[in-house]
A and B are shown apart, each in its own frame.
Chain A
Amino acid sequence: MTPFDLVEPPSLGEALKLLEPDDSAVRPLAGGTALMLLMKSGFFRPKRLVSLRAAGERLARIRIEPNGELRIGAMVRLAALEWAPEVRRDFPVIGHTLRTLANVRVRNVATLGGHLAHADPHSDLPPVLIALGACLVLAGPRGERAVPVEGFATGHYETVCKGDELIVEATIPPLGRRRAAYAKCTTRSADDWPALGIAVAWDDDGAIRSPRIVLGAATERPTRLKAAEALIAGRTLDGALLTRAGEAAAEEADVVADARGSVSYKKQLVKVYVARALRAAGAGPAAP
């Protein structure tokens, strides 16, 4: 790697001032696990990195609001999120998802904000956060704005976060009666990037209400499978519905081939894993 200026502003406001949206060699630094790979390969040669390590308590905390909403600071390490007692209790799908994300050492360093801002389409959490209806709070020179995680990534490593903005925190509405699950498939080693990940969630009043089925990794960006969602809405899960939902999902999914599988192989995975994720969510206890 080549030398660069490393600054560690003591507040979010200072950090925003140190960004230079028109200079791609100036970038924010969170845990650095992804950026380090880009720097070591020589793909990214920074002039200045703005470390958010000391940029304020708001970025570092996890808390449940009185209304049950979960707020996670952008600098919360993925392992801290995985082990947080309140997350394990109220949002078990998040801990379950994190347990299979990369490996222990990556989770010990990588942060939620970095995971989302990097916008690698193979990331595990975006599909889950979309299924749960999560939003991100972005801060910039004109103040703050909330954007849904659905629509945050616009393509490979591209997001709606502008060059002069930073992710401050993620907000996840209370699960309430929502059931949720995430199922992923890695086709090489267990800790490899997934070939696909499927997150599902729905409100359970005896029938399936407001379902979301979100496909990640196999598509250019995390994508809701709305035909499959419509198919299961208002119904109750049975074997025939699982099969039809899987088939509908595979039909509509715009999957892309890569080293982890061809299009036809991944379509088959979508069919199988949509059914698996739905079955897992249906089998687990609904939140009280």
Chain B
Amino acid sequence: MSATRRIRFTLNGQAAAAEIGTHETLVEVLRDRFALFGARESCSQGLCGCCTVLVDGHAVSGCLFLAAAADGVKIQTIEGLASGERLDPVQEAFLECGAFQCGFCTPGFILMTRQLLDENPAPSEDEIRHYLSGNLCRCGAYPEIIEAVKLASHKVKSRTPGGAAP
């Protein structure tokens, strides 16, 4: 049996390693070994998006992702999104729009928005709603979230060389 193993990966830009059980999920390992609590297991079925992390730039449900499959990949969590004190434009936009109430779902929404804007810097409202349909906010902050994504899109464009002026 090889029911435990050592995995090495890049975590928020830093080299990381952990001894894990083959049956452990990525969100369990991030919380238990690295004290990163931004990704939360909520529905446990990949439906709610609270456990979202980026694996090689792709959003995944950390609760449905075997930690063993993280060996050799780059992982980004909400904790690694800001550059020092400077927030990511998506984080700024969520704050400015008040796009949360309790904040439990917010890391997932922000990371999903980050991937959306990487793929599609100027999404329509329909595209935003469709893309975020796999994330649930039980406080019902959806109208503000949609506004925040639009604002983030504007901020990202204005920060990108050659992008539209703010």
Check if A104 is an interface residue, CB within 8 A of chain B. Answer: yes
How many residues on chain A are close to B (CB under 8 Å)?
28
Q: Which of A1-9, A243-251, A273-281 contacts B (4 or more CB under 8 A)?
A: A1-9
Query: In the complex, how many residue pairs between chain A and chain B have their CB atoms under 8 Å apart?
Result: 86
Interface string of A114-131 (1 = CB under 8 A from B): 000000000000000000
Find the A residue at minimum CB distance from B49: A105
Report whether A104 and B64 are in contact in the complex, using a CB–CB cutoff of 8 Å.
no
A6 proximity list for chain B (CB < 8 A): 2-3, 5, 22, 66, 68
Of the residues A1, A49, A105, contact of B52 by C-beta under 8 Å: A105
Report whether B133 and A191 are in contact in the complex, using a CB–CB cutoff of 8 Å.
yes
Check if A190 is an interface residue, CB within 8 A of chain B. Answer: yes
Of the residues A7, A103, A108, contact of B133 by C-beta under 8 Å: A103
Report whether A3 and B69 are in contact in the complex, using a CB–CB cutoff of 8 Å.
no
B45 proximity list for chain A (CB < 8 A): 37
A32 proximity list for chain B (CB < 8 A): 64-66, 69
A33 proximity list for chain B (CB < 8 A): 46, 61, 64
Check if B23 is an interface residue, CB within 8 A of chain A. Answer: yes
Check if B47 is an interface residue, CB within 8 A of chain A. Answer: yes
Report whether A53 and B58 are in contact in the complex, using a CB–CB cutoff of 8 Å.
no
Candidate in A33, A105, A109 with the most chain B CB atoms within 10 angstroms: A105
Q: How far is the CB of B62 from chain A (nearest CB, A)?
A: 9
Interface residues of B in 78-123 (CB under 8 A from A): 112, 115
Report whether A5 and B22 are in contact in the complex, using a CB–CB cutoff of 8 Å.
yes
Q: How far is the CB of B138 from chain A (nearest CB, A)?
A: 13
Q: How far is the CB of A34 from chain B (nearest CB, A)?
A: 9
* Complex alpha-carbon distance, A53 and B5, angstroms: 16
Check if A102 is an interface residue, CB within 8 A of chain B. Answer: yes
Check if B134 is an interface residue, CB within 8 A of chain A. Answer: yes
**Contact A5 B1, CB 8 Å, known A37-B64, A103-B46, A190-B133:** yes
Q: How far is the CB of B105 from chain A (nearest CB, A)?
A: 14
Check if A36 is an interface residue, CB within 8 A of chain B. Answer: yes
* Complex alpha-carbon distance, A106 and B47, angstroms: 9
A interface vs B, CB < 8 Å?
Answer: 1-7, 32-33, 36-37, 39-40, 49, 51, 53, 79, 99, 102-106, 108-109, 189-191
